[in-house]
A = this chain, B = another copy of it.
């Protein structure tokens, strides 16, 4: 008898779980006619449902991402691998029976890391300083150290502290290695905001260090995770300033260095460091944006660009940054191509080159668009990782309302967050011509764990999360292509 009750209760619970947890997304699509739409195309509810069905069952996108990451790998702007990636994605688009597929030439920067970096704290028996090797990576665009350099290492708490040193204070940093300890702030809910609030340390910091006569510049990697993987990323030298080597320590190494520097300062001791960066800046190289297009059936002159960037840093495989954005954009074309009707407006997938090193591909795409007097009504970028989509960031507070009108269509797919926000670096140059700029917003918690680090590999991309992102992009792209954004 006891078992009977138990059994009954659990059966109720199991079926209960099913019934209760069936949200509208799971319910069959709504077939009622909307008389406001004077067209024979199916109801948007039905189209968005079939887009998601096709994405979740039998999509080739994840296997294509695997090839890009495992068979080609990292795709640093100007590198041989970047060229291989251009050729592979060109083949993929060519095989899709699109209306147009082409390469758009663009000159891109070519920075190379050279041999792996070396960084160690020099031991000092009299001061009881332990010799220790630290995890380090050169920042993208940095000059090398011309062999190793040895110097005292000194800590500064933040970029603004470094920026605002008095002449007198500045003196004591001359000829030394400056380490700005400033971490990303874990209290931000969205890690992208924590990154945005801290990224100028990496981008501009070396210039302030150079101004006070420092020999080299170190930062704590821009991540909220404590581990041994340093994170690279672009840094920019100020015109006319002295170029000093710049690098990032893993968070574990940064924590260790900060701790012993604090102790040494209390005890009036100094700590010497040996640093070697073998990177160099080479002449610009000819490369390409990879472009494929579905021409609009009624308004072909109105263009919607969907894209991500094909280049990556040389650590890891550029899986989340931004292999996922590239294959999601290609998948948008495939998913919309599978629908009964061709899209009303033109949908163009653009895989931008050299986003990490200054977005020259993005600028060239916008320049050509302007030159040809093309009408770019909207652009959608995925460059925040291939994680579960949460919604869209719309970079125009007025036209945001147009997208928000469709909120109820997106919510069954757990796309609740349609807010004002930054879209993406690659579509940004289209803003001057009035294009509506939109960024896919995936869940942000894990992105900066792997961003620009050797852990950004295919194995860390979850197939369903990645495909749901592609389906979200295809859904919004379809709505804009079919119904416009007026």
Contact = CB atoms under 8 A, between A and B. Distances in A.
Contact of A421 (B14, B21, B189): B21
A6 B236 contact: yes
A371 interface: no
A189 B414 contact: yes
A53 interface: yes
A167 interface: no
A236 to B, nearest CB: 4
A427 to B, nearest CB: 12
A407 to B, nearest CB: 10
Interface stretch (A125-133, A194-202, A267-275, A292-300): A194-202
Contacts of A217: none
A105 interface: no
A464 interface: yes
A437 to B, nearest CB: 10
Nearest to A4: B239
B445 A193 contact: no
Interface stretch (A22-30, A66-74, A318-326): A22-30
Given A23-B421, A203-B11, A186 B3 contact: no
B53 A189 contact: no
B14 A413 contact: no
Interface in A233-261: 234, 236-239
Interface in A146-196: 186-193, 195-196
Contacts of A449: 462
Nearest to A8: B236
A443 interface: yes
A311 B449 CA distance: 31
Contacts of A17: 192, 195-196, 199, 422
A118 interface: no
Contacts of A422: 16-17, 19-21
A52 interface: yes
A186 B238 CA distance: 52
Contacts of A192: 17, 21
Nearest to A24: B419
Contacts of A56: 186-187
Interface stretch (A79-87, A330-338, A343-351, A388-396): A388-396
A204 B10 CA distance: 10
A260 to B, nearest CB: 22
A417 interface: yes
Interface in A1-15: 1, 3-4, 6-7, 9-11, 13-15
Contact of A10 (B358, B464, B468): B358
A135 B186 CA distance: 41
21 contacts: A6-B358, A7-B236, A7-B239, A9-B359, A10-B359, A13-B425, A14-B199, A14-B200, A16-B422, A18-B197, A18-B199, A21-B196, A21-B421, A23-B421, A26-B189, A56-B186, A186-B464, A189-B413, A416-B416, A445-B462, A445-B465
